[in-house]
Each structure stands twice: as structure tokens, then as C-alpha cells.
Amino acid sequence: MHVVAIGGSDAGISAALRARELDPDCDFTVVVADAFPNFSICGIPYYVSGEVGHWQNLAHRTHADLEAAGMSLRLDTRVTAIEAEEHRIVVEGGGTIDYDALIVGTGAVPVRPPIHGLDRLGPDDGVHLLHSMGDTFELMETLERNPMRRAVIVGAGYIGLEMAEGLRLRGLEVTQIEQLPEVLPTVDPELGAMIHEELIRNGVDVRCRTRVEAITSGDEEEGRLAVRAVDSEGSAQPFPADVVLVVVGVRPDTELAEAAGATLGAKGAIAVDRQMRTNLPDVFAAGDCAVTHHRLLGETYLPLGTTAHKQGRVAGENALGGSREFAGSLGTQVVKVFDLVAARTGLREHEAEAAAFEPVTVAAHPDDHKAYYPGALPIEMRLTGDRPSGRLLGVQLVGHRGSGIAKRIDIPATAIFNEMSVEDVSDLDLSYTPPLGSPWEAIQMGVQELARKLAVPDLAADQGR
């Protein structure tokens, strides 16, 4: 039995580890386009900031670890075609690799927005997109140039925010430009506004409702580059920069699979069933290149490292003949921005509405621990439930980095996974000690607010009947 994975990031490596765990005799080859298998791309901002001293540390596992786990690595090997009927892949130079089962884990590529000049300017000019280790090395080269004073970051999603922090830590002046009304648009704007303030507190020049039109070479005095952006009132402004980072999201890298005849699904990602099978015989897909089964939404596209690990694990098991199903995502995610942490799981009001729920959302701001013990801080919380069923649908949190936000979001993530009602979350037996919590855990205080609102009849709906 020979299993091949295309891609050495989370999905491919998780598949290999799982297959080798289940069948130590399984022959598993991971074909990696570059020389950096199993690198944590989520860790790139912390290497750029200087917090991670050596780029090698970003590897989840070393080559030796991976080989000790029994997989064969084919590094610096670009796959040019999947010949699904023949059960083989073609690599650059024309060689082929036969397989019994194939796992496509080609990941995602950065979205390249329609900004004038972006087609012309590149890493050599100080203009960077960021996704791979190769991109990272190019960025680091730019950052080591002199003078290096001003950065413009286009985009204020997860990576944009982490890079703003990282470049501030390096001592750069940072301007962050976001087209939408608020930063971190994956949470409600009330919470995004807190992150916005944290950015300002840390010296980031934040420009929302501002669209970047062009990047041009600047004059030597002001900076090597000039970013021309237009604000909501239509007035254009130039932002000088020594480095420009464009991080406005990713799209699935499906070129190989599509050329081989794979059906595409949500957002153009490779369509897979919950066993991670594509429509091609014995071809699986997992991670950022594939659609995501969401427990509340069905098929969607929600690329996250946690999901890639889980999907890869499922694909690895099924490549050996298993029939495990990916249990589904809730879009649980967390980001640290300076001293604040923002997290979410499940659905926000408008997402729930679009999915035909009848959502009710409340705000709450319980303390992270008993107020009498020093250092208590409020957690800003937004909770969404479904009126007819009483189910908890989603929770969003923003709080201090010491307030346990990343693990607190995992309580509703586990509750929603188990389809708990808003009422039942109050029944959970959660831990309490005054320095670290409250007798009703903060999440329970939040859901009790939501339960009170759900208990009030919806007058508008009643009038409609």
C-alpha cells in the first residue's frame, strides 16, 4: 500500500502521521514543493517580530522526526499533474510517482487584490505577499535593509494584525489599511473596535474604510514606496513606506486537482465528502485547498490550521481503507493582538440569519475572576442563540491576554459541538477558584443573559403571525 500526499504542511503531514500510526507497514510519501515540510505558517509573525530566534524553530517537527515517524519526504519537488485514472502523479522534470491513494494538501495561496502596481512590484522592491517560508525569507531580507522605518500593511485580518504587532516589535512605524469599516472583520464591529483601540495604543496608525488603489515607487527621502489609498470620503492620501505587506486573505490552491478533473465546491475549493474523498478515484483532499464541513452551516470554506490537522488525520485513516468522517468545524479561532485576545466560535447574528436560524444576540461583560482578588478585568462577550430551538449558536470574546480567552472560547466550542441549548450551558460543572474564575464561569454569566433575552417573546415575530 503506497499513499502519497501532495503538500508537506498541516494536512499532508497529519495524514502521514495518522496512516503510519494505524499501519506501521504503510508506505507513505510526502511530496513537498519547497524544503520546509511541517512548518507552522501561523508562527511566521513571531519569527518576523524576533520572538522566535531561528526560523528552524517554526518546524512542528524536524526532518529527522518526520522520517522517524516512517514517512518518506520528497523535498523541492513540484507536482505538475495528477493522473487519476493511472493512479500516479507527474513531477517537475517528468518523473512519475505511483500511488494507491493520493491526498491533495496543496493548501492556499494569498489573494492578490486589484491594486495598481502589485503586478509590477515584488519582494525586490519591498512589496510582499506572505504565505510560505520562501515569502518569509524574502520579507526578512527586505526588513534588514536600510533605511527601514515605515511599513504599510494592507489588510487587518488575523495575519495583518499579528504582523502589525510583529513589525512594531521590530521598531517600525506601521500603518494598517483596511477596506472594511472595522479591523478584525471576523468578529462583530463592537469587538473589532476594542482591537482597533489596542492597535492605536501601541502606536499603529489604523485606517479603516480605506481602499488601497496603487503602490508605486516612492522618492528616496520619504521611503522607497508610496501607497495611495482612498478613504470613505473619497479623498486620496499617499502613505510612504519602506516595506508594504499585502495580507488580505487566501484562496484555495486547486490548480492541480482541477486540471485532473476534481469537482470544486464552496469558494472554489476542492469538493470533498466528510470522508475527505474527492470525486476522483482514491483521491482525497484536506486542509486549506478543500471545502470545510461546518457543523452549523454544512459545506463552506473556512481555512484554519486546526481544521487542516483534523481533515488530514481523517484523510490519512481513510486512505488506508477507513471510513472515518470529519466531524466538522465551528470556525473556532483566536488571535492575540498586543495585550488583547479576540476569539470566536460558531455563528454571528448575520451568519445565523443567512443559515435560516432565528438568532438573538446579547452583549455581556463579566469579570475574568472574582473582583475582590487583585487584577480582575472584564471580558467583552457577544453571544448568539436560536430563538425557536433555544440552541447556543455562537460566542465571541475579547479580553486581556491574561484572562484565559483562548481556553474560555473552548467551553462554548465544546458546548456547541454537542448541540447544547443556552439553558443547559448553565448546568455545566466548570471550575472555580477566586483568582482564576467565578462560581458561575464568565461564559455561564453570558449565556444567562442570553437565556433571559430568549425568554422574552419576540413581539415583532408575534405581530407577524
The residue (of 359 and 437) whose beta carbon lies closer to a second copy is 437
| Minimum CB–partner distance for residue 91 and a second copy (Å) | 28
Site for a second copy in 392-431 (CB under 8 A): 401-402, 404-411, 413-415, 417-418, 420, 424, 426-431
User: Does 366 interact with a second copy (rule: CB under 8 A)?
Assistant: no
Identified binder of a second copy from the candidate list 345, 361, 384, 421, rule CB under 8 A: 345
| Minimum CB–partner distance for residue 183 and a second copy (Å) | 16
Number of residues that bind a second copy (CB under 8 A): 71
The residue (of 58 and 151) whose beta carbon lies closer to a second copy is 58
Stretch of residues binding a second copy (CB under 8 A), selected from 23-31, 96-104, 329-337, 353-361: 329-337
User: Does 161 interact with a second copy (rule: CB under 8 A)?
Assistant: no
The residue (of 229 and 341) whose beta carbon lies closer to a second copy is 341
The residue (of 3 and 442) whose beta carbon lies closer to a second copy is 442
Stretch of residues binding a second copy (CB under 8 A), selected from 24-32, 196-204, 281-289, 330-338: 330-338
Give the span between the Cα atoms of 217 and 9, in whole angstroms. 35
User: Does 175 interact with a second copy (rule: CB under 8 A)?
Assistant: no
User: Does 117 interact with a second copy (rule: CB under 8 A)?
Assistant: no
| Minimum CB–partner distance for residue 254 and a second copy (Å) | 23
Burial 279-292 (b: 16+ CB within 10 A, else e): ebeebbbbbbbbbb
Give the span between the Cα atoms of 175 and 168, in whole angstroms. 10
Burial 93-109 (b: 16+ CB within 10 A, else e): eeeebebebbbbbbbbb
User: Does 371 interact with a second copy (rule: CB under 8 A)?
Assistant: yes
Site for a second copy in 266-295 (CB under 8 A): 295
Show the binding pattern over residues 40-79: x = contacts a second copy (CB under 8 A), - = does not.
x-xx--x----xx----xx-x-------------------
Which of these is catalytic: 26, 42, 208, 289? Answer: 42
Identified binder of a second copy from the candidate list 7, 105, 265, 331, rule CB under 8 A: 331
The residue (of 24 and 234) whose beta carbon lies closer to a second copy is 24
User: Does 321 interact with a second copy (rule: CB under 8 A)?
Assistant: no
Q: What are phi and psi of 370, to 5 degrees?
A: -55, 130
User: Does 343 interact with a second copy (rule: CB under 8 A)?
Assistant: yes
User: Does 10 interact with a second copy (rule: CB under 8 A)?
Assistant: yes
The residue (of 225 and 341) whose beta carbon lies closer to a second copy is 341
User: Does 155 interact with a second copy (rule: CB under 8 A)?
Assistant: no
The residue (of 242 and 368) whose beta carbon lies closer to a second copy is 368
Identified binder of a second copy from the candidate list 335, 381, 398, 445, rule CB under 8 A: 335
**Is 42 annotated as catalytic?**
yes
The residue (of 74 and 336) whose beta carbon lies closer to a second copy is 336
| Minimum CB–partner distance for residue 95 and a second copy (Å) | 32
| Minimum CB–partner distance for residue 307 and a second copy (Å) | 7
**Nearest Cα to 150, choosing from 216, 245, 230, 214?**
245
User: Does 329 interact with a second copy (rule: CB under 8 A)?
Assistant: yes
Which of the residues are catalytic? 42
